[in-house]
């Protein structure tokens, strides 16, 4: 997979013609891969990720500023955070099948779930950095737009720019007039690896529960579960 022809194929998929396709290969090269391939003169993607992160933030900021001329700075910041968080951009990376082109160590290649999401999100930013260096700002902006702009209406419409706990509190107060409360139902595991199960209540009624490595994480999981259970994800007030 480290041959340049594969990355020319990926470049064609995203509609970008690279002058130096080795930059694109670099965007997919995780530091761990080079630890197992020390004889190569390849570079890992962390510098490109650093650059791409800045380009991504500028493009999204510019887009939000134009799209929502009447929104305050605080809300625009929340929109941007939701649009460029790890979950969002790792999904965008998956949409382009970036996982198929990653250069990873054998150990990293076995990781799935959250660890792979972080790698994909970082790779997505590195790809932006490689496009910016090779083709300039407008081309990078176009790629970001094709990858992310269509997610914004869903984020705003379902208020995904708020965390789950804030959304559930707002919905519960509006629909029931009651502020939810959270209680720890169970703690398991040793001190260095605890798991908390937290229940979210409306009044005395247990709506749902969630498990996390901290009480705060468990509250977020419980709140999201409660939103799903109640069907309070949509704009319409049932």
Strands 195-202 and 205-212: antiparallel
Marked catalytic residue, from 26, 49, 108, 125: 125
d(C-alpha 176, C-alpha 3), whole Å: 60
| Three-state DSSP class for residue 183 | strand
Place of tokens 């199960």: 197
Rounded to 10°, the helix 137-148/46-67 angle is: 70
Q: Please confirm, yes or no, whether 125 is among the known catalytic residues.
A: yes
Marked catalytic residue, from 53, 108, 197, 219: 53
Q: Which two tokens stand for residue 153?
A: 């209406």
Strands 181-188 and 195-202: antiparallel
Q: Which two tokens stand for residue 68?
A: 């929502």
Tell me the HSE value of 118 on the side-chain side, using a 13 A CA sphere: 8
Q: Are 18 and 135 in contact (CB under 8 A)?
A: yes
Q: Which two tokens stand for residue 169?
A: 């509190």
Q: Are 222 and 198 in contact (CB under 8 A)?
A: yes
Q: What is the DSSP letter of 97?
A: T
d(C-alpha 161, C-alpha 169), whole Å: 14
Strands 181-188 and 205-212: unpaired
Which residues are tagged catalytic? Answer: 53, 125
């Amino acid at each position: 997979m480290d041959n340049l022809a594969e990355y020319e194929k990926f470049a064609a998929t995203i509609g970008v013609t690279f002058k130096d396709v080795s930059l694109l290969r670099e965007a997919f090269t995780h530091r761990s891969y080079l630890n197992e391939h020390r004889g190569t003169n390849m570079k890992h993607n962390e510098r490109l990720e650093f650059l791409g992160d800045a380009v991504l933030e500028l493009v999204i900021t510019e887009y939000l500023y134009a799209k929502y001329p009447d929104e305050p700075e605080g809300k625009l910041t929340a929109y941007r955070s939701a649009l460029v968080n790890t979950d969002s951009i790792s999904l965008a990376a998956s949409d382009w099948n970036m996982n198929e082109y990653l250069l990873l160590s054998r150990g990293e290649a076995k990781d799935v779930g959250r660890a792979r999401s972080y790698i994909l999100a970082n790779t997505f930013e590195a790809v932006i950095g490689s496009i910016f260096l090779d083709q300039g700002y407008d081309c990078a902006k176009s790629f970001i737009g094709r990858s992310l702009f269509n997610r914004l209406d869903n984020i705003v419409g379902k208020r995904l720019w708020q965390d789950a706990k804030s959304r559930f509190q707002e919905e519960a107060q509006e629909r029931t007039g009651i502020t939810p409360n959270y209680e720890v139902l169970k703690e398991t595991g040793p001190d260095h690896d605890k798991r908390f199960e937290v229940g979210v209540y409306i009044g005395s009624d247990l709506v749902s529960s969630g498990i996390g490595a901290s009480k705060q994480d468990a509250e977020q999981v419980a709140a999201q579960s409660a939103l799903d259970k109640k069907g309070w994800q949509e704009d319409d007030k049932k």
